[in-house]
Structure 1
Amino acid sequence: MTPETLRARLLAWYDANARDLPWRVGPAGHATGVRADPYRVWLSEVMLQQTTVPHAAPYFLKFTQRWPTVSDLAVEADEEVMAAWAGLGYYARARNLLACARAVARDHGGVFPDTEEGLRSLPGLGPYTAAAVGAIAFDLPTNVVDGNVERVMSRLFAAPTPLPEGKAELKALAGALVRDERPGDWAQALMDLGATICRPKAPLCERCPISEGCAAFAQGDPETYPRKAPKAARPRRHGVAYILTRGNEVALVRRPPKGLLGGMLALPTSDWRAGAWDEAEALAAAPMAADWRAVGEVEHVFTHFSLTLRLLRAEGNAEGLIWTPRAGLDALPSVFLKAARAGLSNLL
């Protein structure tokens, strides 16, 4: 199958099967000259990093209702945006989101640059996000390669090099198929194919518009692609989370702006380290002297390590803490929400 035939078949499939997503201008609208809003494209792409469409979509709708333009987002207080982001994870994305919004408002009059180079100059916009915004919002012939596109390319060409070593090869293969014709639709067609047909498990090859040209399909083993190098064991860390109550309120702290979960509200915790904390150490690291009692532990998995948090609970009062009603804890990052719910579960 020639590249032109492959492109024609995939674009025709996309015209008939494009996903209806809240940030997308579909192919019918695009054909009439309607372009996607760069702010909405950028916001969706940042949210979709390490996050599924069903999980990200409600956050996208909430953000765009509250902050309909990039300039609206740029003037919001950090803590308000971080609280609205809670539950999406990877909180450095939220800090980068604010930095980029403020740069667009301050340096570009609230208008996103319309070149890939200009987009790359914005804080927090890496090569992928700049390429995606460039293609989808500005119809630039950029090479947009996410995990879905990597999977399609690896199967289409039966690429033997395992990931992550093979990423450069897959990006080059994808780049060879980019044309000036409908670059935004092409990028989204590849993404949709990977998300709905060329799935990680049980790909629907019988429905694929380009299976005739797929080397992995011809071999009969598409699910074995992309090849992956063995994963290193994820290290484990241990910490203590302190659930200090004052009647119906719970004490929170704001984490330092830099580092994991930076700037987010959290339960007070000890450091997180390789070795477990004994009772004396746990009490010494508590935010105040109190009658601390063990109320269980929770497990949480981050990208690069697993965490075991011992839970200690006490009733007390202290200055310098952020006292929050129990009903207001849903804005906590998932690890601390999980710990708070577990530690408070047997309180009326």
Structure 2
Amino acid sequence: MEVVNTVENFAPRVLAWFDLHGRKNLPWQKNKTPYRVWISEIMLQQTQVATVIPYYEKFMESFPDVYALANAKQDDVLAHWSGLGYYARARNMHKAANMLVDELDGEFPASVEGVCELPGIGRSTASAILSISRDVQAAILDGNVKRVLARFHAIATWPGEKKTENTMWDIAGYYMPNQRCGEYTQAMMDLGATLCTRSKPKCHECPLMDDCAGFATAEPTQFPISKPKKAAKPVKSAQFVVLKSSSKVLLEKRPASGIWGGLWSLPEFDSDASIILEAEQRFQCDTESVTVLSPFRHTFSHYHLDIAPSLISIANGVSFCVDESDKYRWFSMDESLELGLPAPVRRILESVERGDTLLI
């Protein structure tokens, strides 16, 4: 598709701005390799830079290269991911690391198409990996770049529509220079993250302002066009139980797929269940006391989950619930908090450890 209404000096202006104002000291910008850039790009999906930095640094200490990641247990990888959310990202990274080691001698493919064959990597992420680490001329179209281009050209349709997305890929490719490709990719990310922000863009600091069609409308924040609204998110509910015996708590390994796949979690009950009766029947235990913890809401991308947690102290030790399937296992509180846990489960366990409970 032919790109129209473009400007010829787009990339030089972006690069000149980057030379003066771009971010150049982020952890993944040092010793740039495909592996290091890959980990950062996956972590930065749906997650702010400030949040990612400590996770990235700890992850690199434990898994400094693709071989270390491939040889790690998935539980260890998930433990390092605990709190970042969207845990399929971590599971796919572990699978991709094994593919790279087993099939490609630890080397990333040379083409965008080849990198896209790895689990969890799409076109934009593959392009970012290769352009930033190897200076390959491959345009990206992440959220920041979409926002910059949609505003610059005042694109009046939602970028999630296939036709609009294809047009934006054409524009991104048109502006991609044939030199300093990695720096240009980083510059476009930085421009969107620091100037062309969602709600309060700093238009008068932007090197593209004079030719920006969105700025010319006097309402640049109307671009990109928002996704058509859906109905309100449904609300689900569940009861989580901290089953405690002495200093140990019982955790349940989640199935490999689905929400929180592969993570350790708390036993879950239907919201209308009698937790004492069901816990005693399910786990063949004798209840000593029940403490109701403060309820809270956890929000996923597609629904809200209202969680009602409870703490049940039991009398007959930790000899039960450990079977050959290893679905249930007893952990000390310190051990449990080192595992890969869903964020709301970690919140509950930390609350119990602090003694922040509501006794009913």
- Same fold (TM > 0.5): yes
The amino acid that maps onto 1:220 is A
- Alignment root-mean-square deviation, CA: 2.2
Q: Is 1:324 aligned to residue 326 of structure 2? A: no
The amino acid that maps onto 1:333 is P
2:96 and 2:74 mapped to 1: Cα distance?
13
Whether the 8 Å CA contact 1:114–1:138 is kept in 2: the answer is: no
Q: Is 1:284 aligned to residue 285 of structure 2? A: no
* Aligned 1:140-159 pairs, distance under 5 A: 140-159=136-155
Whether the 8 Å CA contact 1:270–1:282 is kept in 2: the answer is: no
The amino acid that maps onto 1:267 is L
- 261-270 or 279-288: which moved more? 279-288
Whether the 8 Å CA contact 1:67–1:73 is kept in 2: the answer is: yes
* Aligned 1:169-318 pairs, distance under 5 A: 169-228=167-226, 229-270=228-269, 277-280=271-274, 283-284=277-278, 287-288=282-283, 289-291=285-287, 292-316=290-314, 317=317, 318=320
Shift of 1:290: 4.3
Whether the 8 Å CA contact 2:11–2:177 is kept in 1: the answer is: no
The amino acid that maps onto 2:189 is M
Shift of 1:296: 3.4
In the TM superposition, structure 1's runs of 4+ consecutive aligned residues that sit over 4 Å from their partners are none
Q: What residue number does 2:97 align with?
A: 101
The amino acid that maps onto 2:240 is A
- 175-184 or 146-155: which moved more? 175-184
The amino acid that maps onto 1:242 is V
Q: What residue number does 1:48 align with?
A: 44
Q: What residue number does 2:35 align with?
A: 39
The amino acid that maps onto 1:38 is P
* Aligned 1:128-139 pairs, distance under 5 A: 128-139=124-135
Q: What residue number does 1:28 align with?
A: none
- 130-139 or 320-329: which moved more? 320-329
Q: Extract unaligned runs of 5+ from structure 1.
A: 26-34, 272-276
1:167 and 1:211 mapped to 2: Cα distance?
23
Q: Is 1:339 aligned to residue 359 of structure 2? A: no
Q: Deviations over 1:315-337 (max 9, x none)?
A: 12433232222234434221111
The amino acid that maps onto 1:258 is S
1:151 and 1:124 mapped to 2: Cα distance?
23
Shift of 1:251: 1.4
Percent identical across equivalent pairs?
36
Whether the 8 Å CA contact 2:159–2:225 is kept in 1: the answer is: yes
Q: Deviations over 1:213-240 (max 9, x none)?
A: 1001111111121110224311111111
* Aligned 1:17-96 pairs, distance under 5 A: 17-19=21-23, 20-25=25-30, 36-96=32-92
1:88 and 1:135 mapped to 2: Cα distance?
25
2:173 and 2:277 mapped to 1: Cα distance?
57
Whether the 8 Å CA contact 1:100–1:123 is kept in 2: the answer is: yes
Q: Extract unaligned runs of 5+ from structure 2.
A: 323-327
Q: What residue number does 1:117 align with?
A: 113
Q: What residue number does 1:31 align with?
A: none
Whether the 8 Å CA contact 1:120–1:127 is kept in 2: the answer is: yes
Whether the 8 Å CA contact 1:135–1:184 is kept in 2: the answer is: yes
2:300 and 2:351 mapped to 1: Cα distance?
19
Over 3 Å counting, the alpha-carbon distance change for 1:68 and 1:281 in structure 2 is closer
Shift of 1:281: 7.2
Whether the 8 Å CA contact 1:6–1:213 is kept in 2: the answer is: no
- 234-243 or 172-181: which moved more? 172-181
2:110 and 2:263 mapped to 1: Cα distance?
33
1:282 and 1:238 mapped to 2: Cα distance?
18
The amino acid that maps onto 1:5 is N
Give TM-score, length-normalised by structure 1: 0.89
Shift of 1:92: 0.6
Over 3 Å counting, the alpha-carbon distance change for 1:201 and 1:283 in structure 2 is farther
Over 3 Å counting, the alpha-carbon distance change for 1:139 and 1:232 in structure 2 is farther
